[in-house]
Structure 1
Amino acid sequence: MQRSASRLPRILACAAVPVMLVVAGCSSDSGSSGDSGKKGTQDKTNASASATPTPSPTPTVEPAKFAKLPEVCKAISAKTTASLVPKAKTKKGTPAASSDLASRGGCSWNGLDDNGVDGSQYRWLDVSFYRYASDVSLGSGEERAQENLTKELAKVQETPGAKKLKTTTASGIGEEAKAVAYKLRKTDEDFVYASVVARTGNVLVLLSYNGAGYAGADAPSEKKIMDGAVKAAKEAVAAVAAANK
């Protein structure tokens, strides 16, 4: 009996060893699981940081070249208007109505030069300015002026009743310009027309010059009318740059 009693503690001690190993093993697994949890959290944090969107750059547009328009009725010299419209009703020109003179304006001259038995000569000259501001949603002032040059040119080319219409490039007038020559029958007379559509920077210049002979007088030549229109258009374009110095 004594031997059995002395052996009992040793048996119990040996029986306890596997239990300690299991506990140690679980404890080790538990530690590994904790590390994995920490690593997973770090991965999620890093992924979240890398997924943060980069702020988009603020949209920009090229600034408009010209900030204002010239005094329209003074954009063409008095000497030129007097030569193109000899008997103008209003020598200083008649300004067109405008609600925003900083963006658009116009002026016209017209008159009948009565030569008695030799008949009469009628002339009409008008000029309009359109200034386009730069806008992020609409584009730069220059781009907008280019777009509207195309539209305005199309309008002239589609003039109802126009005959012998011809479009040419007008050199030496702003960055780009087109000249349109045509004839039009009005009030039982043959009118000769010349229109110039020109762009300088962000400003569009529209100019029209026409004439007719009355009471038996001959109609003016196409060359004379076109030369007059080109001369006036060059002065109008130059006036834009002068107004912004």
Structure 2
Amino acid sequence: MHRRTAPRLARILACAAVPVMLVATGCSSDDDKKETTPSKAPTANATPTVKPAAFTKLPEACKAVPAKTIEKLVAKADPKEGKALPASDTNDSASCFYSGLNDEDVKDLQYRSLTVSLKRFASDPTLGSGDKRAQAFLGQQATKATTSDGAKNAKTEKAGGIGDEATTVTSDSKKDDNDFKNVTVIARTANVVVTVKYSGAGYEGAKSPDVGDMTKDAQGATKEAVASVADANKK
């Protein structure tokens, strides 16, 4: 009996002296050998999916706000139909500028300007959904409005009832010795951001415009511009 078990005992003792990392390969007995199947190669990660963008095009910037609203906010706008600002692709971004001086009363010269800008974001697997990209851009625009054009005394607050979300920034600035009141409303509707900047000043000693009235007017114009985005995408 001892003679039959001696070879096996010798193998066991030999294995005990081998480093642990080699035990599995160098010291297995014939009885312990089993067939193994190769593991499957890892599959490539699937391309992430994002929510499709709701809007695929923009309205004409100079038609986003009705003419009657322009006449009210920018008296004697020149040109009255506004001036389209340069854009590389008007289906992704577009802007229109209006300005005018109401000189009917020489003792109350009132200057107003209005800029309507639209920015559309497509959904992208790498960059995210159009909605999220637009949401981030809204925040950037709101921050920019607090410092642009030498803005001072900036105040920021949320504006309800305009698109999916909106922010209003009011500020003061000075240009050519004239004190300006500025109101910027930034609103998001799905994957499109609408920015309306409304500025006004009284020239030659005339009284400055009321910022409360300007805010109400700018928010109203923004609502109309937001509605024009949906209208432009109706099938």
What TM-score bracket applies, with the shorter chain setting the length? 0.7 to 0.9
Aligned mate of 2:204, from 212, 215, 221: 215
Aligned to 1:61: 50
What displacement does 1:198 show? 1.0
The count of residues paired between Structure 1 and Structure 2 equals 205
Partners of 1:218 and 1:177 lie apart in 2 by 29
Aligned to 2:10: none
SS of 1:154's equivalent? helix
Partners of 2:167 and 2:205 lie apart in 1 by 33
% identical aligned pairs: 47
Partners of 2:179 and 2:102 lie apart in 1 by 16
What displacement does 1:115 show? 2.9
Q: Is the 8 A contact 2:47 2:125 kept in 1?
A: no
1:95 has 2:90 as partner: no
Q: Is the 8 A contact 2:146 2:152 kept in 1?
A: no
TM-score (norm 2): 0.82
RMSD over aligned CA atoms reads: 1.8
1:167 has 2:156 as partner: yes
SS of 1:118's equivalent? coil
Aligned to 1:28: none
1:122 has 2:111 as partner: yes
One-letter amino acid of the structure 2 residue matched with residue 161 of structure 1: G
More helix by share: 1
Partners of 1:136 and 1:56 lie apart in 2 by 13
In structure 2, relative to structure 1, the CA distance for the partners of 1:52 and 1:194 (3 Å cut) is: same
TM-score (norm 1): 0.79
Aligned to 1:135: 124
Which has the higher Rg, Structure 1 or Structure 2?
1
- Give ranges in structure 2 of 5+ residues lacking alignment: 1-29
* Structure 1 runs (4+) greater than 3 angstroms displaced: none
1:72 has 2:26 as partner: no
SS of 1:117's equivalent? coil
Aligned mate of 1:147, from 129, 136, 146: 136
Aligned mate of 1:82, from 55, 71, 88: 71
For 1:165-244, list aligned pairs within 5 A: 165-244=154-233
Partners of 1:99 and 1:159 lie apart in 2 by 23
Aligned to 2:3: none
What displacement does 1:119 show? 3.0
